[in-house]
A = this chain, B = another copy of it.
Amino acid sequence: MSTMTLAGTMRAQMEALVRERQDAICRAIEHLEGPAGARFRQDEWSRPGGGGGTTRVLQQGAVFEKAGVNVSAVHGLLSPEAARGAAGPDYLSGGDPAGHPADGPVPFFAASLSLVLHPHNPMAPTAHANYRYFELGDGAAPEAWWFGGGADLTPAYLFEEDAAHFHRAHKAACDRYDATLYPRLKRACDEYFFLPHRGERRGVGGIFFDRLTGDDREGLFALVRDCADAFVPAYLPVVAARKDAPFTAAQRRWQGLRRGRYVEFNLVYDRGTLFGFKTGGRAESILMSLPLVARWEYDHQPGPGSPEALLVEVLRTPREWA
């Protein structure tokens, strides 16, 4: 645990959470890989300005073509511009109630769990999850803090029961906090994972939230913990059920085309990826989200009524799943 993480603070709680969940998720993935499958490779990295992370990647396994599970807990000083960028334009706009000069650097802390799993079998969907906590100011009494995160599913072929299972598991986690939450986070997910140049969403969605703050920090932490805990039961049974399904070379090519769209979203629109590049993050950890192989065929159009066309229809017009 980093020296900037004071015991008992939310910083310490969140750093412990992301590290424990990284272990648990990696164990579950290696279990599904089986005794002859691949194991995670681990890289520890440190950030020159403070903190660091642990990147774990498994490649060309029995079940997963590529799986990356990252944690990071970083801290340091942000320029006032970067702090405004992080907290929104109003932050520091009229001077600073907490005593930092309006043009001086602002202390920050961020802890994050981020994972992307790409199975081999085109019938088994890709999944992504990310849970993070961000603080500006002093760790004992931060000036601003928020949680962000979510989880979403990206199939190459639509199995309605898989999408429904993934959504229901996340809805149950949200409902424990507030029964009105899931519909909002589901809609936010459909809005965020949208490729305007394609008129398509990246996948069949899930939940998404950013800048979640308020009076009840412990309650929101419990929500984030419950959502993170929902991921393994929401996703791995789907992969277990599809990993040995028969498929053709043409279906594998279609999976490659869908992975091309995944790359387009992550490189053109994903805030985390672009923020990581801008702030000099570790490129290999940021880009562990990309699939092993992606494909671009000019103007590929699935046949009318085909399973491929059905998927695209759902990406163009999101459905309710839970």
Q: Interface of A with B (CB < 8 Å)?
A: 41, 43, 57, 59, 66, 68, 196-198, 256, 260, 263-264, 267-268, 274, 277, 281, 283-284, 286-288, 290-299
Contact = CB atoms under 8 A, between A and B. Distances in A.
Contact of A293 (B43, B256, B281, B288): B256
Contacts of A41: 298
A107 to B, nearest CB: 26
B267 A197 contact: no
A272 to B, nearest CB: 13
Contacts of A283: 197-198
Copies of this protein in the assembly total: 2
Contacts of A296: 66, 287, 290-292, 294
Given A293-B295, A295-B292, A268 B277 contact: yes
Q: Taking chain A's interface residues, is the majority helix, strand, or loop, or is none over half, making it mixed?
A: mixed
A264 B297 CA distance: 17
A138 to B, nearest CB: 31
A40 to B, nearest CB: 10
Which 10 pairs of residues, A with B, have the shortest CB-CB distance? Answer: A267-B267, A290-B296, A57-B298, A197-B283, A284-B299, A197-B277, A267-B268, A294-B294, A293-B295, A288-B298
Given A43-B299, A268-B277, A277-B268, A263 B198 contact: no
Given A268-B277, A277-B197, A284 B263 contact: no
Contacts of A284: 298-299
